[in-house]
């Protein structure tokens, strides 16, 4: 999970430096934004798997210890 996050950060930083290779700044900005959104979704999907594993064992997530399901 940490590798996905670190790789995403490095890719976004690299994309933001594309103008040094001759890529126009507007195109660089568009590439960086699209890449940022896509990588955000990838990292969040990885976190979802971890969250589900925690919920299956503990029955709750968060500092308040509130149950996830309906109380009743």
Residue 64 has pLDDT above 70, yes or no: no
The DSSP symbol for 21 reads: G
Report how far residue 58's alpha carbon sits from residue 67's, in angstroms, rounded to the nearest whole number. 10
pLDDT digits (tens, 9 = 90+) for 15-48: 999 999 999 999 999 999 999 999 999 988 888 8
**Average pLDDT of span 48-71:** 68
Q: The pTM is what?
A: 0.67
Angle between helices 25-58 and 2-16 (to 10 degrees): 170
Domain boundaries, the chain: 2-57
**Average pLDDT of span 46-68:** 71
């Amino acid at each position: 999970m940490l590798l996905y996050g670190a790789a995403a950060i490095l890719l976004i930083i690299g994309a933001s430096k594309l103008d040094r290779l001759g890529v126009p700044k507007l195109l660089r900005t568009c590439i960086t934004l699209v890449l940022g959104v896509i990588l955000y979704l990838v990292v969040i999907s990885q976190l979802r798997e971890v969250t589900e594993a925690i919920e299956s064992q503990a029955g709750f997530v968060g500092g308040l210890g509130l149950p996830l399901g309906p109380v009743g």
